[in-house]
Amino acid sequence: MSLIYLVEDDLHIQEMEEYLLEGAGYAVQKFGKGSELFEALEKKLPALIMLDIMLPDEDGLSILKSLRKDARTRELPLLMVTAKTSEMDKVKGLDLGADDYITKPFGVMELVSRVRAVLRRTQKEVRVLEYEDLILDEDKHRVTVNGEEVSLTYKEFELLKHLMASSGTVMSRKELMEAVWGFAFEGASRTVDMHIKTLRKKLGESGKLIETIRNMGYRLGA
């Protein structure tokens, strides 16, 4: 499930956008100001940011500028939300690197359509997963913990990738087996458990982020 960071200070609009996005199958985390967004980005990068221009502490264009200067967030998909009469803000937003914009007031179908379109255009480019001090680069087949590279086997790497991609969601042993090995078989649970055990050990203290959910499976992150 793709995670969307929603930055909007109007609680009524924020709740409406959250309702529409969750109804379309996305996970949503809400913020009322830029400082809250930057704090969350230190822990985890979303699939997309929906950013309102008018915010109480720092305006959306300034936030966008900061995001595009940071190597970690430079390529992060971003959808600007602008007022109906703010044509200049739209131009500035696109010039600063926004992937698209949507104008208030907007319809249900327009919001979902624009979000899906941005994710379609950018999802193949976003191949780096992050959670707290864990960074997994799929293209380079590289995992780092606190900046230090960790050597993983192919299966361990794939297990971590699927857990990070579904962070906060419990994955059953069968789901992990089919995702990593391509099939499930008798004794699959023991195979997954053994690989999780060695993966945790290699990740050191960060191995504790992989939680065992009794009678269900594993979850990375709450």
Q: How confident is the model at residue 90 (pLDDT cuts 50, 70, 90)?
A: low
Q: Which residues make Cβ contacts (< 8 Å) with residue 81, sequence separation at least 6? A: 8, 50, 51, 52, 53, 60, 101, 102, 103, 104
pLDDT at 185 (0 to 100): 63
Q: How confident is the model at residue 91 (pLDDT cuts 50, 70, 90)?
A: confident
Crossing angle of the two packed helices 154-165 and 173-180, in degrees rounded to 10 = 120
- The β-bridge partners of 85 are none
Long-range contacts of 118-123, Cβ-Cβ distance < 8 Å, separation of 24 or more: 118/48, 118/77, 118/78, 118/79, 119/2, 119/47, 119/48, 119/77, 121/77, 122/48, 122/75, 122/77, 123/47
pTM tops 0.85, yes or no: no
Please state, in angstroms and as integers, the Cα–Cα distance from residue 91 to each residue in 83, 94, 101, 187, following that order.
Answer: 13, 5, 10, 58
Among candidates 48, 54, 16, which has minimal Cα distance to 32?
54
Residue 119 has pLDDT above 80, yes or no: yes
- Mean of per-residue pLDDT scores for the chain: 86
Condensed to tens digits (0 to 9), the pLDDT of residues 50-89 reads: 999 888 888 888 899 999 988 888 888 999 988 756 666 6
Condensed to tens digits (0 to 9), the pLDDT of residues 204-215 reads: 999 999 999 988
* Distance between first and last Cα of the chain: 14
pLDDT at 151 (0 to 100): 94
- In whole angstroms, what is the distance from residue 171 CA to residue 8 CA? 31
Residue 3 phi, psi dihedral angles, 5° rounding: -95, 130
Condensed to tens digits (0 to 9), the pLDDT of residues 149-194 reads: 999 999 999 999 999 988 888 888 888 888 888 776 666 678 899 9
pLDDT at 108 (0 to 100): 76
